[in-house]
Structure 1
């Protein structure tokens, strides 16, 4: 609380008098105080008036109106850089990124922008981290998907491309995995994604929205032109993808590669995964946008149809980098499954999409080139010593 009283040295006749706890201040002092308030109010009003005269004060969002032939796409979850760089016809699609953790912020974004499409990527897959911090994944994936759908419905956005995962299938009894394979996820990441899918499908029963759900398998690789590469935040390296761990070992950031689990019921005892190049993944989104139909839901596996073991992956990484990476074998990691690879027949027949970059060593070679040229990730480039 502000206290305006102070000790005075004037004769008693000129002091403020207190009656019943109320101070009656000298009229001259009161006049000065009121004058200062009025001056401050006038200056504040002048500042507001000047700001309103500025062309940037109330300038509309560039997405508040449409240009002929331009589609406005809201991208959530941080993948906007990938799409901006790798999407064909960049002038036809304009992207904006938003972090959708607050419903009020989300509704403000939608009310100020005329979106045609939402691509919701939710959270990056760190299965190990999801077992340690499950609430983070349920919030970032399941809760935020609900917020996005509510905003889309409220503002009439009619096309939704959802980034899901093969982790929703868990560890099926039969391979390869088709889109009708039962979904029994075994880790919080997969469970959160399946919950989000269920929300989407329930919502769609009474909606004319065009919805595409793409279930990614294991994404690897970099942009062949060198614009994008894998650079996880330092605190997530321990939970990162095998490609990032291999590159960290090859660069000497870590002393070697830790392979968790060598006693699975697979050909060489290590986990088997379907590795999809990021360039093919972007192409799958192009095809999904082209084929999205109002009032329809399309669900597709995005994979190569071929499984590669962790041991195969490490050997390919050694050849791609030219580094004899030291490997340490450790017990299984909670939440991992032995073997997962896709049957991409449906996406081929319905979207005319097939993975083109299926040479694992070549994908890793291109990704390694980016690593060498960006030793500091997306910070100031620091070329690795050759």
Structure 2
């Protein structure tokens, strides 16, 4: 009797184990097949769907580009090493578009040839928007080799890998810093490029690489040279959150907001003896929403074997002092201002002539009121005291 009872117990236990194993295998297969399905969407070309690789898509400008591309029904892959980007921005984008095959994030360094080749080998890209770059003028003068490696060398690797994997469309995020300090304003696309700092030089070298290669291929190339970026997503989903250690290097808008929030004691204006109406630098401030609209229009107008080069700005310059006054009004804080000597590598006056991009791509800046753009960005800052850590 004990033997029979023991046998029954063993048979029952074996059945339970088999059932559990079968269930586990079923769950694994279900998950595996689901992963394969999602993976296949990114690894195969799908009629009617444009798959865009966005390098630096976790950064300030790149994340706003991803937001717009997803809104416009593009498939997007972000590649970022998070040295300057924010995983918090990626998580927000993933939450907004959780549908399979819409958005994926790949952690990779664009200086790693094997990693970059793997990204291209495992995904079917139709176009690349190349934002990834270190982008501070002052930092570039202190660490020039870092800038030539990160901007010029990495761009060379991207273009080589695109060619190897037959990816035919490149939208390149460049800068007005390639022009240096021209003799006359406004800056047109024909203004001589004579950069005066390693940031501008590295970007110009990257442009030269792209342009020289385009002469030997049928790649569709759009180079956007944009001016000083401000603002944030009008719906408050994304914003600018530079790392604390980069605050001294960052954009003036970030410094203004830090001063308004009391994170720093006040705002430091570097240079008051330039040959401008009030002695401070004059810049063309372009809202990030307008900037991304220009990128999307450039992508839509990209054609095989054609190269488009465009300035992206408002066509109007504002001085640093004017900017600070607008920031005071936007934040409602009487920001303390300290005047210091010039920053190495800076130039007195830069603003664009955006007529070419208007005529050829039907693009015009819409967010041209400094106070309004800063007010939108300030709302995000107040709601995200610790950046994306909130």
Q: Which residue of 2 aligns with 1:294?
A: 304
- Contact 1:118/1:161 (CA < 8 Å) preserved in 2? yes
Q: Is 2:73 the counterpart of 1:91?
A: yes
Q: Which residue of 2 aligns with 1:5?
A: none
Aligned partner of residue 219 in structure 1, secondary structure: strand
CA distance in 2, matches of 1:180, 1:122: 26
- Contact 2:110/2:158 (CA < 8 Å) preserved in 1? yes
Aligned partner of residue 135 in structure 1, secondary structure: helix
CA distance in 1, matches of 2:310, 2:271: 29
Aligned partner of residue 311 in structure 1, secondary structure: helix
Distance 1:228 1:124, change over 3 A: farther
Q: Which residue of 1 aligns with 2:168?
A: 158
Instruction: For residue 290 of structure 1, report the CA deviation from its aligned partner.
Output: 1.2
Q: Which residue of 2 aligns with 1:7?
A: none
Aligned partner of residue 347 in structure 1, secondary structure: helix
Aligned partner of residue 213 in structure 1, secondary structure: strand
Aligned partner of residue 258 in structure 1, secondary structure: strand
Q: Is 2:138 the counterpart of 1:128?
A: yes
Counting only pairs closer than 5 Å after superposition, residues 231-270 of structure 1 correspond to structure 2 as: 231-270=241-280
Q: How large is the Cα RMSD of the aligned pairs?
A: 1.6
Q: Is 2:53 the counterpart of 1:68?
A: no
CA distance in 2, matches of 1:367, 1:225: 10
Instruction: For residue 61 of structure 1, report the CA deviation from its aligned partner.
Output: 5.3
CA distance in 2, matches of 1:277, 1:93: 24
- The number of equivalent residue pairs is 329
Q: Which residue of 2 aligns with 1:320?
A: 330
Cα deviation code 1:257-290 (max 9, x no counterpart): 0000000000000000000000001100111011
Distance 1:280 1:88, change over 3 A: farther
Instruction: For residue 77 of structure 1, report the CA deviation from its aligned partner.
Output: 2.1
Counting only pairs closer than 5 Å after superposition, residues 138-157 of structure 1 correspond to structure 2 as: 138-157=148-167
CA distance in 1, matches of 2:174, 2:371: 26
- Contact 1:177/1:342 (CA < 8 Å) preserved in 2? yes
- Contact 1:304/1:355 (CA < 8 Å) preserved in 2? yes
TM-score (norm 1): 0.82
- Long gaps (5+) in structure 1: 1-49, 381-386
CA distance in 2, matches of 1:193, 1:296: 20
Match of 2:371 among 358, 361, 386: 361
Q: Which structure's residues are more often helix, by fraction?
A: 2
Determine which structure has more spread, i.e. the larger CA radius of gyration: 1
Match of 1:309 among 284, 296, 319: 319
TM-score (norm 2): 0.82
- Long gaps (5+) in structure 2: 1-24, 81-108
Instruction: For residue 235 of structure 1, report the CA deviation from its aligned partner.
Output: 1.2
Aligned partner of residue 274 in structure 2, secondary structure: coil
Q: Is 2:348 the counterpart of 1:349?
A: no
Cα deviation code 1:316-335 (max 9, x no counterpart): 00000000000000000100
